[in-house]
Copies of this chain bind each other. A is one copy, B any other.
Amino acid sequence: MSFEEEKKILTDYIQRNNLKISGQKLKILDSFLSSKKHITAEELYGIIKKKHKSIGIATVYRTLKLLCDSGICRILKLDDGVTRYEALYGHEHHDHLICANCGKVVEVYDKKIEELQLKIAKKHHFILKNHRLDMYGICSECKKKRIS
Enumerate chain A interface residues (CB-CB to B < 8 A).
Answer: 75, 77, 79, 81, 83, 95, 97, 99-100, 106, 108, 110, 112-113, 116-117, 119-121, 124-140, 143, 148
- Give the top 7 A-B pairs by smallest Cβ distance, nearest first: A125-B140, A126-B137, A131-B135, A128-B137, A127-B138, A133-B133, A129-B137
Whether B112 and A139, one on each chain, are in contact in the complex, defined by CB atoms closer than 8 angstroms, is: no
Whether A126 and B112, one on each chain, are in contact in the complex, defined by CB atoms closer than 8 angstroms, is: no
Point out the residues of chain B lying under 8 angstroms from A79, CB to CB. 75, 77, 132
What are 8 A-B pairs at a CB distance below 8 A? A77-B81, A97-B124, A100-B129, A128-B137, A130-B135, A131-B134, A131-B135, A133-B133
Point out the residues of chain B lying under 8 angstroms from A113, CB to CB. 113, 116-117, 120
Q: A99: nearest residue on chain B (CB-CB)?
A: B126
Across the interface, A97 reaches (CB within 8 A) one of B100, B110, B126, namely B126
Q: A74: nearest residue on chain B (CB-CB)?
A: B79
Question: When chains A and B are docked, how far (Å) is the Cα of A83 from the Cα of B82?
Answer: 12
Whether A120 and B138, one on each chain, are in contact in the complex, defined by CB atoms closer than 8 angstroms, is: no
Q: A121: nearest residue on chain B (CB-CB)?
A: B137
How far, in Å, is A82 (CB) from chain B's closest CB? 11
Known contacts A75-B79, A120-B135; 9 additional CB pairs below 8 A are A95-B120, A106-B126, A112-B112, A117-B133, A125-B143, A126-B139, A129-B138, A131-B135, A132-B134
